[in-house]
Chains A and B, each alone.
Chain A
């Protein structure tokens, strides 16, 4: 049986989403995308300099990939909405990763402005995936506002530190009815695998692939790790450390004839 992720009205096969920033060159990025075959890749919009003769990144992204524009650079909900509309006008579709950051030191997201952006863009018909700090109340509100998924951070963007927010992400997985996709901070395939074993619906990886010595091989490694973690989750992880400490038995009384067995 095929294990597909229902997301924004689609069925996603590859649970590894890949970001396209920070690659040394577009051809290297292309190789990485070909190696991992993601269903969804993220891109960003930037102001262009006059006379810039750079290549068009879209020419290096396989046509099978769904583009999701992130709103990086937005400092509030209105700017995020503006970027989303620009992306739509440019023909990149209506999938938006909302990223609103006011904090240039740690690049941590502003959950309140992010929620406002979700509300605005859902009403305009966008498929919206908010990048956020893993806060339960906020995640519930984003889901109520119509987000297609929530994307809690594992660690600050680009930090490659792994799932430092594990406990909080775990709570989101249990409590939020829409998919939970860990985004940011995953430094190695084992981090991605850990997320999937926990029950995340998918992960989004960029920096760890882009800055690897061999991005194509690293992309493939992440793909395999995501698949392995997902498979383990579905298989039901066995118990670990089952030895009970019978310091003082709590159920010994049941052996007494006074109690019904």
Chain B
């Protein structure tokens, strides 16, 4: 199954929830915002979203900026 995560192609073996993906990537949930197929998903809904083939995911967090 192929996913686009932050613009990069990645493949995964079996279906995952967003929550599992964040954990697998070793990301700190408090710091990030996740967009699934251009829709922002609230942190509480991460376990409810199961990723499908060709899904696109953006994971962003705050950095310094002017």
Contact = CB atoms under 8 A, between A and B. Distances in A.
Q: Verify whether A and B have any Cβ pair under 8 Å.
A: yes
B64 A44 contact: yes
Nearest to B25: A50
Given A85-B40, A86-B40, A43 B26 contact: no
Contacts of A111: none
B65 A19 contact: yes
Interface in B48-66: 58-66
Given A44-B64, A70-B65, 9 more contacts: A19-B65, A21-B65, A21-B66, A45-B33, A46-B62, A56-B31, A69-B62, A70-B66, A85-B40
| Most A Cβ at <10 Å: residue of B25, B30, B66 | B66
A26 B62 CA distance: 12
B12 interface: no
Contacts of A72: 65-66
A164 interface: no
Contact of B63 (A45, A86, A90): A45
B64 A48 contact: no
Task: For chain B, give the interface size range.
Answer: 20 to 34
Interface string A44-57: 11111111110011
A100 to B, nearest CB: 14
A-B complex: 3 closest residue pairs judged by Cβ atoms: A44-B65, A19-B66, A206-B66
Contacts of A133: none
Nearest to A71: B65
A50 B10 CA distance: 12
Interface string A1-39: 000000000000000000111110010010000000000
5 contacts: A21-B65, A21-B66, A48-B6, A86-B60, A89-B40
A82 interface: yes
B59 A47 contact: yes
A43 B33 contact: no
Interface string B39-53: 010100000000000
Contacts of B6: 47-49
B66 A22 contact: yes
A36 to B, nearest CB: 14
A57 B42 CA distance: 21
B42 A42 contact: no
